[in-house]
Structure formats: C-alpha cells, structure tokens
Amino acid sequence: MAGRLFVQPVPKIPFLDLDDQKTEKVREAMRKRINVILALALLMLGAGCSTDMKNIEKLNYANAIGVDFKDGNYHCYIQSIDFQSVAKTSDGQKGPGKIWIGEGIGSNLEDALFQTYESAQERIIWGHVTAIVISENAIKEGIIGIYDSFSRYYEFRLTPWIFATRESVKDIFSATGFFERSPLNSILHEPKSIHSQSSYVTPIRLHTLIRQTNEPGFTSCIPSLAINKKMWTEKKKQEPKLRIDGAVFLKNESFKSYIPLEKLSGLRWVRPGTIRAGISVPDPKHPSVQIAIENPKRRLQYSGNGDGPRFDLRVKGTGYTVSRIKNDLVSLSLLTSMTESAIEKEIRDLYKLGIEKKTDVLNMEYDLFRYQHKKWKELTGGENVLLTDEALQDVTVDINIEHTSTEKNERVRGAARH
C-alpha cells in the first residue's frame, strides 16, 4: 500500500423526502424575491439621491395662460394660484385665494413666454394649465401660431378651456370666486358648472377648437369673458366677478365677428351642447310665463337649390314651467304654440344678425360639406351664397311641455303631472 494515494470515499447524502424538497423550493423562491426587492430599493434610493427632484412646494404651477397683442408685440400672461387656497390646512381653515400674474412681452408668443422665465424664481410647470384666454386683438392677428405653440411643447395639454376677451387679461386673471374659495372655482377654470344651469355659449376645449378650425367650412364659437363690477357686493363693497358677455366666431382660423350675449339668445337652439335654457313667453318685454327647455336637439337639412343652397331647420326639446307672471296662456296647447313661436323668432333674429356680420352662425356650409359634398364642391362664392334671407327656409320647433313644476298650483290645463 506504500506510495499509494489514499482517497477517502465521499459519504452519500441521503435523499430528502418529497415534503422536504417542496419546503426547500419555497425557501429558495422566497430568497430570490427578497433579493429582487432589496435590489429595487437600492436602485430607488440611489436614483433619488442622484437627481434634482424637488418637492411640489418648490415649483411654480401655471394655472392659466393669457395672450394679448398690442403695440406690435405679443403680451403673454401667466396666472399662478397659491396652493394654500386650494388644499385644506390642518385646522380646516383657508385664507383668501392669492393670485400671481406674470407678464412677458415679445415679438412672438415664444419670446413672450421665455421672458417670464427670467424672474420666475423656480421652474414653471405647465401641465396644470386649465384655461387659455386670448384677446380679440390676438385672435385677429392669427390664432394658428398661438395654439401651434401650445401643442408642440410636451408639458402643455390639449384640454384647457379656451376663452376670448375684449377686456384686460390681467383683470380677467385677477377675478376671484366666492367665500374666499380657490380662484380655481370660477367660470375661468370650471365653465361647465354654470353652463349646466343656464346655457348660452357652450364652453370649448383647445383640442376641439383645433379640430374645428381644420374642418372645411366650419364656424367655431368661443365664449367671451368679461368682468361684472356691479352685480355682486360684500359688506356693501363691490366685488368684480367673471361673466360670459358674448361670443367670438372663427372660420378657418380667421376672425369673423363678435356678438354680445344679449343678441345671442337664438344660439342655444342651433348649436350642440345646450343643457338648460330659459325663455320668456310670449316675449321678454311682456312675459307671461317663463319656460325652461332641457337638452334641445337641432337638425339642419338640405332642402334643394334655387339661386343657391336651401336649408330647413328643426328644433326639438322638452320643457317645463319655471314661473308664471300672468294668468293668461293657461291652455297647454296655446302655451306650447307660443313657446315654439318665441324660439323660432330667436333663431331667425340670430340668423339675420349673422347675415349682417357675415357669420355662418348655423354652420350651413359645414353641413353642406358633410352631407352634400358634391354640392359643396360646386359651391362658388362660399358663405356669401349661403348668407342670404332665402337660404334658411322652414324653421320647425317641436317642444313638449311635460309639467308645470308644481302640484299645488297647476295653472296649465292639460299638462301632465310629474
């Protein structure tokens, strides 16, 4: 045996039974999961330490943007609202809403925006912009460059509400809401709230306006903002509040006209988006009954050619009595007929005003483009052929007055009980 290498035999490891094997596999899977979690945690901690991420209170959040054009330059306004007027505090109390307004001036919109960075103190975040206000002068100068700038920068969203104005953008941005609430609770940032109670001019978002201006023959309608300095007071002190004072009409990105609110009564019957609208019957000067119409629907239909295209308009909706001033018009059929006549008059008055202002308020050309494309291609003279007294033929209004809004004082004979 001398000179031989002695190798000790390796002892045999006894096989684990089936239960032991399962236990070992579970333990191995758990170890792998723990290792993955620890690795992810280390990566997150390392990334947080190596970046320049800041807390939200150290950033400037733009809530609205305004654009004006005067003296040959663009004036860009930025509205920022204090977070303390938005979020609840630990004691449940809020202070008055604080608003900061920045202004930049440049030969184009980008230069004006970049000028505001010079004194912004912190990075401006644009993803929270909920409203854009454009002055009438800026719209006349050209709106395509304005929304082109907003659509190209990745932080800007295409969902802000779009407004026009004929007043100072600074004054519009300085107006607050009620009860020292956040300025975000106003028509500027939440126009749908008041629109659901009284619909005149339907609010419009940026992406909708961009789509409409690219549609051949489409006439867009933008609500116009103004300041009402007399209607509301607090402790006998006048409180300026925002209001819709009319609408600006555009066609193919070009300014067409401005129409004040008092002459826009017929718009709510011929444009989609109306939720609830009130009308005095038989007329506003001598009202007997106030009727509210909900969700009216309109249908514009091509009816043939004479010297130019001819259209018929049909409006359909349901209504109910809001108030009664006089004791006449107690017959349901008579009340319905008078309501329909009052709505038809508002539509025809608006159409005549559109002819005077060379504005296709009924969007007849777009209707021709969509449903009578061959006729639209043959059309010469554009909207000048459509904007005639003969273009709008029959106006049919079909209103179903469902109830009188009261059980105890029903004065309309034949009205259905609710």
First to last CA, the chain: 116
Question: How confident is the model over 34-46, as a mean pLDDT?
Answer: 70
Q: What is the DSSP string of 114-125?
A: HHHHTT-SSPEE
**Which of 159, 171, 167, 169 has its CA nearest to residue 203?**
159
Boundaries of every domain in the chain: 59-83+97-264, 267-418
Question: How confident is the model over 242-257, as a mean pLDDT?
Answer: 93
pLDDT for residue 40: 73
Give 5's pLDDT tier (boundaries 50, 70, 90): very low
Measure the CA–CA gap between 332 and 327, rounded to whole angstroms. 13
- So what's the architecture of 267-418 in CATH? 2-Layer Sandwich (3.30)
- Is-contact 257 211, C-beta < 8 A? no
Question: How confident is the model over 61-85, as a mean pLDDT?
Answer: 87
Q: Mean pLDDT: which of 11-25, 292-306, 396-410 is highest?
A: 292-306
Helix (H, G, I), strand (E, B) or coil at 3: coil
* Cβ-Cβ contacts under 8 Å for 364 (sequence gap 6 or more): 300, 309, 311, 386, 391, 392
Q: Which residue has the higher pLDDT, 91 or 299?
A: 299
- Indicate if the pLDDT at residue 255 is higher than 80: yes
pLDDT for residue 122: 82
> Token pair 């008579």 is at which residue?
334
367-399: pLDDT as tens digits: 999 999 888 888 766 667 788 888 999 999 999
- Indicate if the pLDDT at residue 259 is higher than 80: yes
- Indicate if the pLDDT at residue 1 is higher than 50: no
Helices (H), 51-163: 109-117, 136-141, 144-152
Measure the CA–CA gap between 310 and 388, rounded to whole angstroms. 10
Give 50's pLDDT tier (boundaries 50, 70, 90): very low
The radius of gyration computed from the CA coordinates of the chain, to the nearest angstrom, equals: 32
Please give the helix or strand (H or E) that residue 132 lies within, else none.
Answer: strand 131-135
177-204: pLDDT as tens digits: 776 677 788 899 999 988 888 888 999 9
322-360: pLDDT as tens digits: 888 887 777 888 989 999 999 999 999 999 999 999 999
> Token pair 């150290």 is at which residue?
58
